Amino acid sequence: MSSVPDNHDAHDYAERIRKRLPRRHQELRESLKLSMYALWMKCGVSRDTISRIEGGETIPGVHVLARLAWGLGVTLEKFFGGIED
């Protein structure tokens, strides 16, 4: 019988990131004293999308995350560095 990899740890890790991402994004934005509108104007991600991300209603894809990180003046590595344990 073939061995099925245990992806429980990977799922738990992804879930922790998903739960922490909204607050991390908001902290970075507020530390720069940027409104959602100002961030929208800077990176082109709509204010509605930013609001849904910070409200935990949606998880952005890589393309949107890259645009937001650029608008916040951080690399994706730094963005996620504040989320991980």
**Structural domains for the chain:** 8-81 (1.10.260.40)
pTM over 0.85: no
Residue 84 has what pLDDT? 67
Higher confidence at residue 5 or residue 58?
A: 58
Residue 56 has what pLDDT? 93
Q: Could you report the per-residue pLDDT of 3-49, keeping only the tens digit for each?
A: 555 677 888 888 888 899 999 999 999 999 999 999 999 999 999 99
- Evaluate if residue 82 carries a pLDDT over 70: no
The torsion angle over the Cα atoms of residues 80, 67, 46 and 50, rounded to 10 degrees, is 10
